[in-house]
Structure 1
Amino acid sequence: MSVEEDEWARERSWFGADGTRPAEAGPLARQFAELTRTLLDATPTVGGVLKLVVGAAVESIPDADLVSITLRDPDGRFHTPVETDPIALTLDELQYRHGEGPCVESACPDGPAIGWSQDVGRDPRWPSFGPGTAAHGFHSVLATALIPDARPPRLSGALNIYSRKPGAFDGAAIDAALLLATHASLALAHSEAVAAAELEATHLRQAVESRDVIGQAKGILMQRRGITADEAFDVLRKASQDLNVKLADLARTLATRHTELDLPVPEH
């Protein structure tokens, strides 16, 4: 096995560069418990969650000079919705452009849970991203996977942390990043579920409102013309087709302006 393959194998199994496992998480537990409460109490929007996570990463991980989030679109493209500094977006896009780096690897559903380098400019795995990042003055990088949706197409992402300091990220930093990524994934899943529920409720409310206004319009026609409910609905349906107007919109107009409007009697 080559040096590059050996390094890659260690990374995929969550070992550090020296072959040892990261240290166990320690005194950060209270801080992450507080973050959990903050995330759950916050307005459940995706943007709000991501801002909380990148802020917590800066506060809890020593030498975290830049933090960003990568999300993967359904078509496989990557984008950075949140970052602590525009240079983080520049470094992320360097990875997107060349298709290499810990960020894009961790953001893929089948990629490693963790990707990092203590001297990215000399890392043989990323011949374009590594030197480019070092040229901007950043020498350590750490990325942990985000899995905000376990259902197909399993949209995914990564929490990305950059440091100007070589050898910046030790086992404690990796543990902290993993905990943050877990919190972010759960919070994102929660916020997306809430958004989906709100959207479903909106659609249901719109359906009920449409049904009610159609009923009002039918009642107006029944009273005005002395026809049955089915006949009134036929009048609405035919007028909707002839005028190329949605049935609910037509019914709403008739219900609110029934003293001004009438509909043509459909031909039989």
Structure 2
Amino acid sequence: MSDIGTTVTGDRFAGLGDEFAELTRSLLAATTIGGVLQHLVTAAVRVIPAASLVSITLRGPDGLFYTPVETDPVAAELDQVQYRTGQGPCLDAARPDGPAHAESQDLAHEPAWPRFGPAAAERGMGSMLAIALLPDVREPRMSGALNVYAREAGALTAADRDLALLLATHGSLALANTSAVTATELEKAHLRKAIDSRDVIGQAKGILMQRRGITADEAFDLLRRTSQDLNVKLAVLAETLTSRHTELDLPGPSA
């Protein structure tokens, strides 16, 4: 972990002017906290080439962490691993007194977060970057982080850190001016969404366990690998399987 001190070259910014101009317009037009955060994660996937998954961590006034938006349920699951273990880049960056950014270039062998790193690697992630996000400077103060996951170790560059910092700065300013939805309402909406996703994923796991004679962990791993291979969100794949389970099956392991 280190402070951001690298300047992005002009070539790295080539073609990004329009992207950030559009992001600014979208953020200013957003009327809810959820809208701002969704624009933020969508933009991060577009402007950071190595980004495989993106999420937002928020830390409420009660000190609890949660993930209100993500580009894929696997990102929320990875965030939850950090919340459960009490360690990881997103926790460090999301704390009010935390660093401007925290990162790991090799999650499988990360000494700073020995419980989170290998767990993330088992879920297919090689590196991660978290940038501090400050949605509310008023008391009781909230804080957060923009989380970027990459499948390959060493994939996230200094230029990617600078782009993520720009995105987080845009997002923090927009959040400071957005008051249509309170953080409590946002958290409740996220919890409803998370419960719905867990329910359908649980149903899909049950179908695979019964059909294949495999364990719950093996069923989830099959769902996760298939969602990655097909480039389909895990929750969407699970919903499709549960609604059409008499017609569909997932491919077996390759020979």
TM-score calculated relative to the size of structure 2: 0.67
Distance in 2 (alpha carbons) for counterparts of 1:159 and 1:29: 21
The aligned runs of 1:119-158 (5 Å cut-off) are: 119-158=106-145
Counterpart contact for 1:139–1:165, Cα < 8 Å: yes
The residue that corresponds to 2:191 in the other structure is none
CA drift at 1:29: 3.3
CA drift at 1:125: 0.2
Distance in 2 (alpha carbons) for counterparts of 1:160 and 1:52: 14
The residue that corresponds to 1:31 in the other structure is 19
Structure 2 unaligned blocks of 5 or more: 183-255
The aligned runs of 1:94-173 (5 Å cut-off) are: 94-173=81-160
Secondary structure in 1 matching 2:136: coil
The residue that corresponds to 1:181 in the other structure is 168
TM-score calculated relative to the size of structure 1: 0.64
Counterpart contact for 1:146–1:181, Cα < 8 Å: yes
Distance in 2 (alpha carbons) for counterparts of 1:34 and 1:137: 32
> Over aligned residues, Cα RMSD in angstroms?
1.6
Distance in 1 (alpha carbons) for counterparts of 2:94 and 2:173: 16
- 2:56 pairs with 1:69: yes
Q: Once superposed, which parts of structure 1, at least 4 consecutive aligned residues long, lie more than 6 Å away?
A: none
The residue that corresponds to 1:93 in the other structure is 80
Q: What is the aligned length? A: 179
Higher relative CO (Cα under 8 Å, sequence separation at least 6) belongs to 2
The residue that corresponds to 2:224 in the other structure is none
Counterpart contact for 2:33–2:175, Cα < 8 Å: yes
Distance in 2 (alpha carbons) for counterparts of 1:105 and 1:29: 30
CA drift at 1:137: 0.9
Distance in 2 (alpha carbons) for counterparts of 1:164 and 1:22: 25
CA drift at 1:195: 5.3
The residue that corresponds to 1:14 in the other structure is 4
1:53 to 26, 40, 56: 40
Structure 1 unaligned blocks of 5 or more: 1-7, 16-20, 197-268
What amino acid sits opposite 1:36 in the alignment?
A: T
Secondary structure in 1 matching 2:68: strand
What amino acid sits opposite 1:31 in the alignment?
A: E
The aligned runs of 1:236-251 (5 Å cut-off) are: none
1:41 to 8, 29, 42: 29
Distance in 2 (alpha carbons) for counterparts of 1:148 and 1:94: 23
